[in-house]
Amino acid sequence: MSHPGVLQDSYKRVIRDLRISITDRCNFNCVYCLPDTEEADNFFKPIDQGAKKPSPVPGKLIYPRKRRSQILTFEEIIRVIRVAASLGVNKIRITGGEPLLRRGVESLISQIADIDSICDLSLTTNGTHFLRLAKNLKKAGLGRVTLSLDSLDRDNFKKITSRDGLDEVLESIRLAKSLGLAPVKVNAVIIRGLNDHEIVRLARFAMDEGVIMRFIEFMPLDSRQAWQRDHVVSGAEIAERIQSKYPLTPLPAGNPSETSTRWSLGQGTAEVGIIAPVTQPFCGSCNRLRLTADGKIRTCLFSQHEHDLKPCLSHGSDSNEDLVARLQQIVLSKEQGHRISEPDYVQPASTMSLIGG
């Protein structure tokens, strides 16, 4: 049994961190997430030969998007957060899809910020609508922001994301810093043959801009299911490549459940993080749950099962006791660890955009 009043799983991990995808829509088609472009077709072809999935029909969406009626309302999201907060969750990350495409996102942020026990409220974005919304998000109570930036080369950025948006993201990163949405973290998913030649340049960017650059291993969560181990540049290799140019010194973990290993970079105060879920799983200290845009709880990014919260949220089911009991029951089924490296591992049907990274 879990301890009354908290969300504790069967391995005695206490859940403190809830990540919420508020939309499965996106205005990018990153090759590692929603690869639905000719560029992605061309990129994956050479190592795609043995892949199980056929190539998508050009122009056809290969990721089925949920109907709007299936997406949780802000009211439902706030209800889940309040109940989770009453059970000890104190960290909320809003993500997607692209969360800034959801109309009224500032109002959602403001309602979450009003919940006293939430001490860390952050958002992950591709940066395209950030310039327009940043000030209001800050005013609404957003604590910090993570922006995605996989390339510093305009053409490569476009090849990876499908959008000519490098300048917008760079401006967004600078705006986030100037608004004090700190620490500003910048995520780069590293894929062999696509942007691994930019690792050192991205590290240099962290030093020049005073942001925390986080290098992430490519995970098997792309909508096309084209992921293959050959695409993954391991965390160890990423560190080696940075170290060939700049000294890296390990830093102590900020908290035990941290996903990234932290390193100080060069001689100053710059920092990089390396997130290596494929080659160095950190499941033993995982304290996270995820709520998908359509109201499912996922106990692990790579879970095969999702737990539908909608029946506890629908009208006529106004008692929070049901929701508390349901969450506590779900948490007990949290996996001990992911099985990406097992030969019989099957990629989940849900993509990163629906789950929320």
Q: Which residues bind ligand SAM (CB under 6 A)?
A: 26, 32-33, 95-96, 98, 124-126, 148, 187, 189, 216, 218-219, 221-222, 352-353, 357
> Smallest distance, Å, CB 3 to ligand SF4?
35
Indicate which of ligand SF4, ligand SAM, none lies near residue 202 (CB less than 5 to 8 Å, by partner kind). Answer: none
Residue nearer to ligand SAM on the CB measure, 26 or 272 = 26
Q: Is residue 63 close enough to count as binding ligand SF4 by CB under 6 A?
A: no
Q: Is residue 99 close enough to count as binding ligand SF4 by CB under 6 A?
A: no
Nearest-5° Cα angle at 101, 99 to 107: 70
Task: Yes or no: say if 30 and 160 are a contact pair by the CB < 8 Å rule.
Answer: yes
Sign of CA dihedral 127, 233, 30, 282: negative
> Smallest distance, Å, CB 211 to ligand SF4?
18
Distance CA 73, CA 17 (A): 20
Residue nearer to ligand SAM on the CB measure, 172 or 299 = 172
Helix (H) or strand (E) holding 214: strand 212-217
Residue nearer to ligand SAM on the CB measure, 87 or 274 = 274
> Smallest distance, Å, CB 336 to ligand SAM?
22
Indicate which of ligand SAM, ligand SF4, none lies near residue 261 (CB less than 5 to 8 Å, by partner kind). Answer: none
Helix (H) or strand (E) holding 145: strand 144-148
Task: Yes or no: say if 301 and 219 are a contact pair by the CB < 8 Å rule.
Answer: yes
Task: Yes or no: say if 314 and 93 are a contact pair by the CB < 8 Å rule.
Answer: no
Indicate which of ligand SF4, ligand SAM, none lies near residue 34 (CB less than 5 to 8 Å, by partner kind). Answer: ligand SF4
Residue nearest ligand SAM, CB atom distance: 357
Distance CA 227, CA 200 (A): 24
Distances (CA, A) of 8 to 141, 216, 296, 298, 301: 28, 28, 18, 15, 18
Q: Is residue 96 close enough to count as binding ligand SF4 by CB under 6 A?
A: yes
**Residue numbers 338-357 binding ligand SF4 by CB under 6 A:** 352-353
Q: Kindly tell me which residue out of 126, 260, 261, 350 binds ligand SF4, with binding defined by CB under 6 A.
A: 126
Two structure tokens written together for 134: 């940043």
**Residue numbers 133-192 binding ligand SF4 by CB under 6 A:** 148
Quote the distance between the C-alpha of residue 15 and its chain's center: 17
Two structure tokens written together for 34: 């929603």
Q: Is residue 289 close enough to count as binding ligand SF4 by CB under 6 A?
A: no
Cβ-based neighbours of 21, under 8 Å, separated by 6 or more: 95, 96, 97, 99, 290, 291, 292, 293, 353, 354, 355, 356
Query: DSSP H helical segments within 49-198, as ranges?
Result: 74-86, 105-113, 130-140, 154-161, 166-178
Indicate which of ligand SF4, ligand SAM, none lies near residue 238 (CB less than 5 to 8 Å, by partner kind). Answer: none
Q: Kindly tell me which residue out of 33, 92, 226, 276 binds ligand SF4, with binding defined by CB under 6 A.
A: 33
Residue nearer to ligand SAM on the CB measure, 138 or 224 = 224
> Smallest distance, Å, CB 344 to ligand SF4?
27
Task: Yes or no: say if 353 and 30 are a contact pair by the CB < 8 Å rule.
Answer: no
> Smallest distance, Å, CB 193 to ligand SF4?
18
The residue range among 29-37, 41-49, 79-87, 256-264 that interacts with ligand SF4, by the rule CB under 6 A, is 29-37
Q: Which residues of 277-307 are buried (b: 16+ CB within 10 A; e: fewer)?
A: bbeeebbeebbbbbbbbbbbbbbbbbbeebb
> Smallest distance, Å, CB 326 to ligand SAM?
25
Residue whose entry in the numeric block shows the structure tokens 């309602």: 111
Q: Is residue 226 close enough to count as binding ligand SF4 by CB under 6 A?
A: no
Residue nearer to ligand SAM on the CB measure, 7 or 31 = 31
Residues that bind ligand SF4 in the complex, under the rule CB under 6 A: 26, 28-30, 33-34, 96-98, 126, 148, 352-353
